[in-house]
Structures are given as C-alpha cells and as structure tokens.
Amino acid sequence: MSVKSQIAPTKHDFSDIKNESTWAFETLSGMYGEELAATQLSLEHEAYTLGEERFRKQLERQIERGEFAENATAKPVLSHLVPKLIAAYEAWVDHQVHKVRRKHVGLSYFQQMDSEAVAAITVKIVLGDMAKPSPVTIQALAIRIGQSLEEEARFGRIRVQEAAHFQKHVKAALNKRNGHTYKVKFMERVEGHMIDADQLATKWVKWDTLDNDVTYHMGIRLLELLIESTQLVEVRREFAGIKSQDGEYVSLHPEWAKKLCDRAFNLAGISPQYQPMIVPPREWSTMVGGGYWAKGRKPIPFIRVRSKKALHRYREVFMPEVYKAVNLAQQTAWSVNQRVLSVANALMQWKHVPIDGFPLPEREELPPRPEGMDEDPELLRSWKREASAVYRRDKARISRRLGYEFALEQANKFSEYEAIYFPYNLDWRGRVYAIPAFNPQGNDMTKGLLQASIAEPVGEEGVEWLMIHGANCAGVDKVSFDQRKQWVRDNEEMILACARDPLGCTEWAQMDSPFCFLAFCFEWEGVKRDGPLHESALPIAFDGSCSGIQHFSAMLRDERGGRAVNLVPSESVQDIYKLVADRVNEALARDLEEGSEDSTETVTNKKTGEIVEKRILGTKGMARGWLGYGVTRSVTKRSVMTLAYGSKAFGFSEQLIGDIINPAMDRGTGQEFFASVPQCARYMANLIWDAVGVTVVKAVEAMKWLQVAAKHLAKEVICKETGAQLKPCMPVFWVTPDGFPVWQEYMKQEQRRIDLTFLGTMRLQTTINVRDSNVIDGLKQQSGISPNFVHSQDGSHLRKTVVKAHEAYGVSFFSLIHDSFGTIPAKAGAMFRAVRETMVETYETTNVLADFRDQFLDQLHETQLEDMPEVPAQGSLDITQILKSDFAFA
C-alpha cells in the first residue's frame, strides 16, 4: 500500500500568466525598458509560485497534525458530507429505537449526543486520518472515532450543561493548550474541580468499562453508515501474507481523493503571495485593473469586499478624489535601508537580543523543577503555572519569528533595487492598505528597514523635524517639541555611538521603537557631518493623538474632548490615556477609604439544590490591589483607544485580562494584586468607562446616536393591521467627505453551527453556495456602526491629506498608516501643515453627522421618525485651533 498521502495535488506551471502578459510587457518596456519590464512581470509570476508553495506547506502541516478537515480544501466537502451522514445516522437510530428488538450495543451511548456532533466528529476524524500518508486499519480508525465520541460526550456536557462556566472559565484556557493530549488532560482537571465543587452531578464512567469494546463497535457502525451515505472511503485487504501487517485498511475512495486533490490544486493556483514592485504600480481608474500589471488569475479589486455583488455597487460611483489619493500613495518610491538591514540580519543569529519581545531562534528554557515538587501540590501548581506561561510565550515567539524571517527575506531580496513600490487598495470603509504582505505598514523592524528611494537635503527645518522624530522613536513623545529636541542634544553621544557600532553599542535596542530609532541614529550621524545639506530618505511620521476620539471631538466641536486629544494649542502635550488614568486613581483612592469590604453571598445549585457560598470582593480590597499594581496610562490606553471603535465596559474587561492581569500572573506578580481575575477586571473596566465618559462626553453621545440610527435602519416595520411590510431591513449607507460611499451591510448567515469541544466549530450551510442570507443582522449593524463610521472618516482624512500635500506642497513621498502621515525630513513641515489643514477643511463647514442623518432619513418609515433623536448638539470648539496645535498630529 502506498505511503504517500492521497491528498497530493500536482503543481502548477503558471505559464498562462506569462503568456497573457504580452500587453503588460510591451507597455512597461516602452515606459521603463525591457529589463525592468521582464523582471517586474517575473516577480508577478513568482507571486503565484510563492503562494502555491505557502499553500502546500500549510496543507502539509495540517495533514501532519490531523487537521486536514480545517483546511480550505476540505471545508466544503465537510459541509456537503455531514448532512448526508446525519440523515443516514438519524434514520438508523430511529430504526433501532422503533423496529429492532436486539439493539445495537452502542445505542444508549449514541443517544447521549446530538446527531450533528456525531456526524461532524466522524467526518472530521476520517478526513484527518485519510489525508495522512500512513495506512490506517479499520480497527484503528473505528476506535479513534469511538473514543472521540466519548470525549465529546464527556466534556461536551460541561460545555452544554454549564455553558456560562465553560465560556467564562474554561474556553479561553482550553484554546491555549496545544495538542489533543494536553487538551484532554486539561479538561480532566476541569471536570475534577467541577465535581469537587458540585458543579457536575456525577463522575464519568468510561463506556468501555460498562460495555466491552463499545467505542470500537460505535466507530464501526459509523464507518458503515459513512460508506453507505457518502462513499467517502472504501475498505480493502492489504499486505496479504505479511503477518504483522495483513488486515483491512481504509482509504479515500479514488473519486473523492481526486475531488479533494483537484480542489487543492485550484486553491493553490489562486493564492498569490504578493510582493513589492520595481516599477510604479498601474493606476486605478475602475474597480479592477490597478496595482499589478500582469492580468494574473485573481484580479485584485480596488475595494476589498466580500462578494462581486458588493463590488458591482461601486461601478457607477464617481469618486475622482479617492482614485487620485490612492494612485498618489502607490507612486511613492521606496528602497531598503542597507545599514538597518545589515544589523537586522546579524541580530537574527543572536541567542540573546536586547530588544523586548524580539523572537529568538530557540525556545525559552522551562523553569527548574523545585525539589519536592511531586509531593507538594502547591509547588507543583506553581511550577505548572510558570511552565504554561513559557509554552504560551513560545507559541507567540514562533509566530513572530516567522514574521520577522519573512520580512528580512523580502528586504534582502529587494535591497538590490534602487526603487520599489507598494500597490494599495481600500477596505470597504475606505481605509488604505498596502497589498503585499511585506510593506511599510508593518511592525517596527519592517518600518525601520524601509526608506525613500530618493533622498533630499534636510534643510534647517528638516533638522528640527528629524530631532523630534528621533525623540518620538525613543518614546520621548509626551513633552514639548523643544524638550524633544533637547533630549536629542543631551543624548547625542549615545546616538552617534549607536550609529558607529550598532552591534557593539546596543542602547538603541532599549528604545520604544528600536529599529526606527536606529535608522534615526544613522541619519543624525549624517546631519552632524553635513549639517542641513545632509540628504535624508528617512520617513518621518505625524501620528494622531487617539484619532477616533479626535474625529468625534472635531465633528461635534467638543471643547473638552478636543483639548484632551490635542486639537487645541497647549504648552504641554495632553495625554488622554494619562488623564483617564488620573481620574481612575482618584476613584481608587476614594474606594480605598470609603469602599465596601469583602463579602459572601449564597448561591443555590439549580441541579442539586445545594447552597454554597461565593466570595464577593469588596471595592476597598480591589482598589488596594490596583493601587499596589499601579494604574498608569498603559493600563487605560487600549480601552480609551478602542472606545471610539465601539468597545464598552465588557470589552474593556476582556482587554484588561489579556493585556494587564494575565501577563502579571505569568510573571508571578499578579497573585498579590488580583485576588480574582474576572472581578478585578470588571471593577477596573467600570472605573475606566466612567472616567472616559466624563472626559469625552460628546464622543459617547455620537456613538450612541449612531447606534440608534443603525438600529432603526436595520429594523423591519410591519403594519399591525394587515401584516404587510411597510419598510424592510436596510443597510446603513453614507458618503465620506471626499466622496467615498460606504455600505454597511451585515447579513445573517444561513448556517447552523456545530460546536465540538476538541474539534472546533463547523458551520453547516442550509443553502449550498450561499455565503450570506438576504436577512440583515440588526445587532451587528448596531454594534458595527460606530467603529465603521469613524474608520471611514479617518480614511477620508488620510486621502484628503495625500492630495493636499501633493497639490499644495509638492510632497511626493508618502508613508501612510491610517492615522499616521509620514514623509521625508525635507517635506516634513509641509506634511505637518497639510494634515492639519485637511482636518479643518473636513469639519469646518460640514456637519458629517447631520449629513449622515440626511442620507438615511428618507429611508425610515414615518412611524420611526419620532423615535429618531436629533443629531448631538455641537459644542464651542473653534476647529481652526487645530492649525495652531503642535501636538494634534506629532
């Protein structure tokens, strides 16, 4: 029997891409010469070969781990086969129950589970085992199926019967465990703890001890039903005459193997790994046809939407300013910073890199096992806690390491070109994104590796901006511009030492953005040598100060919120994250003095009737813990930052657990501050929510108003007398200030979900090949409107800034990341002015919320109008003050 996997798709030759590139070659040859034209088209061809290689590696990894059913190749097959097996299985069970005297030995166990779960487990296990190269006996496969059914029945009862407990305390921790064995062991411990706490009524008794080999017989029956209903697999005798191997083996039916291979082949052919370009991208003028020059197999759309139907909406839209901005952005000529690249290449070989979070080549050592650990349960728990933290960090390390290796591979590859380019397109809200995976919108190392292709003399003003940029990269960005420049002067010796010997003098690695700071060190060395005549290609960025709240404060003329996010001039930088942290600390101090004490409440177990006591932490003790930990801007930053994007107190709580409390627990310092993770997180989340609400009242008003509007649009209106539909559920539509139309249309999926404890989640479509239904999801419409609306506004601001900077100030180099606007030092002053001027132009004469209201008001039914509140009143903020504010974008 062959030891090769039956899922081994043939490779593409992609000759069609080369053959269809005649027009592109002729066009590019006329513009840039035959050599560049040929190389560029070769890179575009290579994107498909690289994409196929990436697809095949992922496929091989999933096959090796037994997760083939999770691959895009198998998912439609799974959705097709599971309903067929469900029907056959339910018919068999019904026959067993009503028409057979001698029941199947496993019937009572089958009846402990939903038929959907039984079928999904069977198909997933079979697909996973069949994809592996090693032969599988029918006995081994049947036992695997039976045991998986028992595991689902055993631990699924926790997920179903104690759903709230599972979601709150178990699910996240289970997902962090790698490997099936570790997951099972973890759930066994969870089960034990729950039984001890009387949260589960009975202990589990293994099925095979009740009925001998019952799991095997259950697996055999399901394999028989699978073959009868789907013909997915076949059973043949193999290795006849070889005593140790002779037996009945299961393999994919050749027709199904071919279908799966064909699908994998097709998917691999349309999974390009896009790369930077060495000629300027083709300009966008329609919904497809921009960016890369070759036709390719998978046309890239101008707007990233879910379907062709959604893309067709934009065909007749007139938005010249939008096209102009994206085309200007992607004409930016970049190059690789050779000096930073040399340092990054060297660091990747080091075993100890002095950069916080840098992914090292080897896994962190497990903590030493303390003496007596096996006899002391507390020591064992403590060691396991530390060890699990190492495993979690290693999982993150591997992911980051692969990302760093990919970025360096691309940087080395394109370092030989004088100029490289990044094609851009938009998401459906109008945010601008680079198409290649390696691009200037990446992490600190990637940004440090990239610079402008053409350097220009910095000039006197450019020297000033370069100093400010250097301090920003060092993390000295919450002080005045003069203080930032003084920091550079005070640390000049260190800066120049880093430039001369970056691998020997590694103080740059301790900075907030180490690779960007290193790139600055090299530039500052040039400035000290050549003065204002130094030619610099370093990107300098002006970042928004909590941009979501900036936009809400500007559109509503919110004096208080605007001041908190630097929309008005100030001698010092206003730090909204610190402002909120200060308010929280005031509340903590009050609770420490006046708060409640710990208490207990009695809780009745609904199943057993047993009454147990539950500890409730008082605000006094939790305040003491948080004050001991220290509430700084880092504690409040993410919550405040995500407020404008729809996050609320519950979301704050989840963020605090992930960002603050769990890392403290992993470090071994959290236990002394946080007596209960969920209670302490909820407590702090509510304090932050209250503090933010006082600091940026208008932003919260705007969010609530937008949600009411989306709710009304998504609501169907029915005549009470006749039952006739007076208004259907409708998408939310608006147009940004620069003319980009946005359709927010979340549709309910016509699928039912099957949740499995160990085999994940699968969705069964009720209508094949229908991705979404025609029914609008009102809850998603309501929850999504605030983040989507403000994202569309910052996308418009970015595009308007690009056009303004180019047409008014001659800026041609753009480094753009949503609320970050970058250019070279010689043009930094122009960008500084352009980003402020466009912010004022956007909101000075336009009330975007009123415009939004006008755009949807006619779509509401008359009965809804009286329930639709007025647009939030505007405050007294003089929007033109942004022009005089140093720190609005700095």
Instruction: Sort strands 741-744 and 450-452 into parallel, antiparallel or unpaired.
Output: unpaired
Q: At 855, which helix (H) or strand (E)?
A: helix 848-857
Q: Which residue has the tokens 């099972």?
A: 184
For the chain, give the longest Cα–Cα distance.
97
Burial of 407 (0-12, 13-18, 19+ CB in 10 A): buried
Query: With the C-alpha atoms ordered 479, 480, 481, 482, is the resulting torsion angle positive or negative?
Result: negative
In degrees, rounded to 5, the angle at the alpha carbon of residue 681 between the alpha carbons of residues 679 and 683 is 70
Q: Classify 725 as helix, strand or coil.
A: strand
Name residues whose C-beta falls within 8 Å of residue 153's C-beta, 6 or more positions apart in sequence: 109, 112, 113
- Indicate the pairing of strand 611-616 with strand 741-744: unpaired
Six token digits for residue 346:
């060297």
Nearest residue to 539 via CA among 343, 833, 329, 815: 815
Choose among 429, 661, 644: nearest CA to 556: 644
β-bridge partners, 427: 304
Query: Which phi-psi region, left, alpha or beta, contains residue 818 (left: φ > 0; alpha: ψ -120 to 50)?
Result: left
Q: Hey, what are 716's tokens?
A: 């169907």
Catalytic residue among 543, 690, 878, 886: 543
- CA 664 vs CA 543, 616, 677: distances in Å: 30, 22, 11
Gap between the terminal Cα atoms of the chain: 67
Q: Indicate which residue of 637, 698, 800, 827 is catalytic.
A: 637
CA distance readout (Å), 800 to 47, 409, 429, 797, 805: 32, 34, 15, 5, 8
* Known catalytic membership, residue 851: no
User: Parallel, antiparallel, or unpaired for β 611-616 and 535-536?
Assistant: unpaired
Are 191 and 170 a contacting pair, CB within 8 Å?
A: no
Q: Which two tokens stand for residue 46?
A: 């290579």
Task: Give CA–CA dist 37/30, Å, rounded.
Answer: 9
Q: Are 829 and 481 in contact (CB under 8 A)?
A: no
889 forms beta bridges with 544
324 is catalytic: no
C-alpha distances in Å from residue 173, one per residue of 168, 178, 877: 10, 11, 47
Return all residues near 290 (Cβ < 8 A) that are at least 6 apart.
281, 282, 283, 284, 300, 302, 326, 327, 423, 425
Name the residue among 341, 366, 350, 567 with its Cα closest to residue 447. 341
Taking Cα atoms as reference points, which of 94, 98, 123, 124 lies closest to residue 111? 94
Instruction: Give which of 186, 73, 84, 181 is closest to 128, Cα–Cα.
Output: 73
What pairing do the DSSP bridges indicate for beta strands 303-304 and 424-427? parallel
Q: CA quadruple 63, 65, 69, 73: dihedral positive or negative?
A: negative
Catalytic residue (choose from 477, 738, 772, 819) = 819
Partnered with residue 751 across adjacent β-strands are 765
Separation CA 580–CA 34 (nearest Å): 59
Active site residue 637: yes
Nearest C-alpha neighbor of 344 from the set 470, 515, 512: 515
**E strand or H helix at 742, and its extent?**
strand 741-744
**819 contacts 799 by C-beta, under 8 angstroms:** no
DSSP letters along 452-488, please? ESS-EE-HHHHHHHHHHHHHHHHT--SS-HHHHHHHH
Q: How far apart are CA 513 and CA 136, in angstroms?
A: 52
Written as six digits, the tokens of 688 are 């932050």
Three-state SS for 532? helix
Residue positions counted in the chain: 890
- Residues labelled catalytic: 543, 637, 819
